[in-house]
Structure 1
Amino acid sequence: MSEELKYNEPWILQRADPYVYRHTDGNYYFTASVPAYDRIVLRRSKTLAGLKDAEEITVWKKHPEGIMSEHIWAPELHYLDGKWYIYFAGGDKDDVWAIRPYVLECADADPLIGTWTEKGKMGRADEDEFSFEAFSLDATVFENKGKHYYVWAEKVGVGKQISNLYIGEMESPYKLKTVQVLLTTPDYDWERVGFWVNEGPAVIHHNGKIYLTYSASETGAAYCVGMMSASEDSDLLDPKSWTKERYPVLCTDADRGVYGPGHNSFTEDEEGNPIMVYHARIEEKIEGNPLYNPNRHAMLMKIHWDEKTGAPVFSYEN
C-alpha cells in the first residue's frame, strides 16, 4: 500500500543498485547487489511496500572459479518474449576486475522457484569488435516502438580509465543486433570526481519522450544522477537524438542526511504513480574502501513531471 511507504530514507538496508520490476500480474519484484557480491537474490510482493519484509530467495550463486566467480554486481530482472532474464556483471577469481556482463534465463512462470540457465556473456553484434572486451557492467534493457535496446557502461582508455555509456539494439535477449553507439562520456566536473564515470543507466517513458538517468563519479558522497532524453520517434542509435543535461538531477543533500544517491531504477506504486528506486548512504564519511562498505541502502523517491517540459523532477521534498 503506497501510504505505508516512506520516502528518501533507508527502505531495504544494505542493498545497493536496487532494481524493482512490476510484472503484468501486478506483483513487484526486487533485486540488488548484496554486500558479499556472491549471489543473486529476488523478492516478490503484491505491494511495493511489502518488498521491504518479503522473503529473499537466492536464485543463483557465483562460480567457485573462472568467469562469474567474483564481484557479482547490479542484477536486473526483465521479462522478454515470455521468459525471465537477469542481466548482471561478474568478475573472475583470477582477475577480479575482469568484469563482464552476463545473462540468466528462466522459462518457468515463477522466477523465484524456477530453473535459471546461464546464457553466458552478453553477445555483441557479429560486426562489433569492441563491446564487452573491457570492464563492462550495469546493463539495462528497455523497449521502444517494438524494439528492445541494451544500455551498459564500459571502460576505455588508460590509467584509471573512463567509464562511458553505450547503447545497442537487441537481436535476442542475449545478443545485440547492432554495433555499439556511444551515448555519453563524463564531460563535466561533476562526472569526474575521483573517477571519470557514467554508469548505472535506467529508463522511464513519459509523453512521447525517453528519459535515461545514469550515475556519475566515485561511489562516495560525490556520486550523483545525470540524465539524457530523446524523442520516442527518433533514431535512438543516433547520438544526436539524445540531449544531455548540463547539471546533475539528483545529488547529495547533507541537510537530509542523504549521501551519494545513484544507481536507480524506475517503477510505479499501486496507483500508477512513478517511483524512483535508488541507493544512497546516510553517513558522509565511509569506513574503509567505499566499494566494500555495505551501507548503501535502497530508498524510494516520488517523481513529479515538470509542467512545462514534461521532464521528470527529482526532489527530496516528498
Structure 2
Amino acid sequence: MSFVNPVVLQRADPCVLLHDGTYYFTASHPQYDRVVLRRAGHLDDLQDAEEVTIWERHADGPMSHLIWAPELHRVDGRWYVYLAAAPHDHGTADVPGAAETFDHRIYVLENAAEDPFTGEWVERGQVDTGWESFALDATSVVLDGSQYLVWAQQDVAIPGHSNLYIARMANPWTLATPAVLLSRPEFDWEVRGFSVNEGPSVLVHGGRVYLTYSGAATGIDYAMGLLTASADADLLDPASWTKSPDPVFVSSPENGQYGPGHNSFTQTPDGDVVLVYHARTYTEITVDPLFDPNRHARAQVLPFDADGNPVWGVPVPDTRPTPTSIEVLGPRGLPLPA
C-alpha cells in the first residue's frame, strides 16, 4: 500500500492515531501558537480534512510561546495531548556549562469526551520530570497495563541540548518513578549542527519495543535513530535497550526528501505498520530551518523482514505538489487570508 505524499502539507512533527476506524492527526503548526486536530477515514484524506484548533497559547506566562510537537494519545478512555511550550525564546544561555537552548517544558491537556473535537480540553499542568530544564517531545505508550512516558530533556552536566528519558506514570500527567536516562547524543550523526536526541516514538511489534528518535539540527542532517528492547524486559533498566550506532532513516537525494524525522507510528486498517514523519523537499533553506514551514507530514508502510526486523528503507518520492516558498498555507493548502 502507498499513500499520496505528503499526507499533510506544512505540518511538522506529525502524530497520527488510528481509533475506531478513524485517523486522528496533530502536528506542530508553523506559527507555533496552537494545537490543531484533523481526522479522516483514510490517511490520503487528511490534507483536505477540516483542521480544528483545540487549544491556543496563553497571552503570557509559561505556555505563551513556541508551542511544539503536540501528540494525541488515548489512555483509559480519555484523550490526552502532550505538548511543549515556553515562556520566552531562550532559557539556558546564562547557565554555566549549558548548551544554549529554548526554555520549554512539557504540559498535558485532557478531554473526557468520546469525541476529541467536542467536550472540554482541560489543562492538567506541567509534567514534573524531576528537575527544571529544557524539556520537550513527550510520547506515551501503554504496555502490560502500565503507561510509560518517553521524552527529551537537557541535563547541564551532559554535553548537548537534549537526551532521552523514560519513566512509568502514576497517571497521564504524573510520573510514578524517577526519570531514567536511555540515550544521549554521542555518535557523529547525532551532533551535526546541534547535539540532539529528541522526537521519540514507540512501536511495540513482534515481541520487541522499538524506540525511534531524531538527532542533529533540523535541516538536511536531521535523521532517525533507534533503540530496541524486548517487550518483556524492564523498560526502566537502560541495560534492556540496545542503541544502533547508525541512523536508520536518512535523507534521500534520489527521491528529493531531506531531513526526515520526528516520526510517529500508526497502522493500516489491515494492521500493517505505517511510519509517519516529516521531511523537506529542498536543501537551500534561506531562514532558520525551524522557521521554514515546509516540513511536510509523510507516511509509508514499514515492512519487516523474515526475522521480524523493521526494513526502514528511505523516504519515498512525492506524489502531491509541495510549496517551495516560506509562505504559510492554510489547512487545505491554500494561502492564509491577509
Q: CA deviation at 1:48?
A: 2.1
Instruction: Tell me if structure 2 keeps the 8 A contact 1:301–1:316.
Output: no
Alignment partner, residue 72 of structure 1: 67
Q: CA deviation at 1:52?
A: 2.0
> What SS does structure 2 have at the residue aligned with 1:288?
coil
Question: Structure 1 residues 160 and 218 mapped into 2: Cα distance closer, same or farther (>3 Å)?
Answer: farther
Unaligned runs of 5+ in 1: none
**Which whole-Å CA distance do the structure 1 matches of 2:211 and 2:300 have between them?**
16
Aligned AA (1:173): P
**Which whole-Å CA distance do the structure 2 matches of 1:174 and 1:33 have between them?**
21
**Which whole-Å CA distance do the structure 2 matches of 1:317 and 1:257 have between them?**
9
Aligned AA (1:203): V
Deviations 1:75-110 (A, max 9, x none): 000111111100000001475722000000001111
**Which whole-Å CA distance do the structure 1 matches of 2:267 and 2:37 have between them?**
18
TM, length-normalised to structure 2: 0.87
Alignment partner, residue 104 of structure 2: 99
Unaligned runs of 5+ in 2: 92-101, 317-338
Answer yes or no: is 1:285 the counterpart of 2:290. no
Instruction: Tell me if structure 1 keeps the 8 A contact 2:250–2:314.
Output: no
Answer yes or no: is 1:312 the counterpart of 2:310. yes
Instruction: Tell me if structure 2 keeps the 8 A contact 1:165–1:185.
Output: yes
Alignment partner, residue 241 of structure 2: 242
1:168-183 equivalence runs, <5 A? 168-183=167-182
The range that moved more, 145-154 or 91-100, is 91-100
Q: CA deviation at 1:227?
A: 0.4
Answer yes or no: is 1:14 the counterpart of 2:10. yes
**Which whole-Å CA distance do the structure 1 matches of 2:252 and 2:44 have between them?**
24
Deviations 1:103-145 (A, max 9, x none): 0000111111221010110134xxx4x2xx1000000000111
**Which whole-Å CA distance do the structure 1 matches of 2:160 and 2:314 have between them?**
33
> What SS does structure 2 have at the residue aligned with 1:313?
coil
Deviations 1:243-290 (A, max 9, x none): 011211011111111000000000011221110000000001211101
Alignment partner, residue 188 of structure 1: 187
Aligned AA (1:118): E
The range that moved more, 63-72 or 44-53, is 44-53
Instruction: Tell me if structure 2 keeps the 8 A contact 1:66–1:94.
Output: no
> What SS does structure 2 have at the residue aligned with 1:170?
strand
Alignment partner, residue 112 of structure 1: 117
Aligned AA (1:197): V
**Which whole-Å CA distance do the structure 2 matches of 1:119 and 1:236 have between them?**
26
TM, length-normalised to structure 1: 0.92
> What SS does structure 2 have at the residue aligned with 1:255?
helix
Instruction: Tell me if structure 2 keeps the 8 A contact 1:250–1:315.
Output: yes
Instruction: Tell me if structure 2 keeps the 8 A contact 1:48–1:270.
Output: no
Which of residues 77, 85, 89 in structure 2 aligns to 1:90? Answer: 85
Alignment partner, residue 329 of structure 2: none
**Which whole-Å CA distance do the structure 2 matches of 1:229 and 1:158 have between them?**
26
Deviations 1:37-92 (A, max 9, x none): 00000001122222221100000000000011001000000111111100000001
**Which whole-Å CA distance do the structure 2 matches of 1:232 and 1:317 have between them?**
27
Instruction: Tell me if structure 2 keeps the 8 A contact 1:78–1:85.
Output: yes
Count residues with an aligned counterpart: 306
**Which whole-Å CA distance do the structure 1 matches of 2:187 and 2:79 have between them?**
37
Alignment partner, residue 211 of structure 2: 212
> What SS does structure 1 have at the residue aligned with 2:154?
strand
Alignment partner, residue 47 of structure 2: 52
Aligned AA (2:8): I
% of aligned pairs identical? 49
Q: CA deviation at 1:316?
A: 3.1
**Which whole-Å CA distance do the structure 2 matches of 1:93 and 1:138 have between them?**
18
1:117-196 equivalence runs, <5 A? 117-124=122-129, 128=130, 130=131, 133-157=132-156, 161-196=160-195
Which of residues 19, 26, 41 in structure 1 aligns to 2:21? Answer: 26
Superposition RMSD on alpha carbons, in Å?
A: 1.6
Instruction: Tell me if structure 2 keeps the 8 A contact 1:216–1:223.
Output: yes
> What SS does structure 1 have at the residue aligned with 2:120?
coil
Question: Structure 1 residues 160 and 182 mapped into 2: Cα distance closer, same or farther (>3 Å)?
Answer: closer
> What SS does structure 1 have at the residue aligned with 2:46?
helix
1:229-308 equivalence runs, <5 A? 229-308=228-307
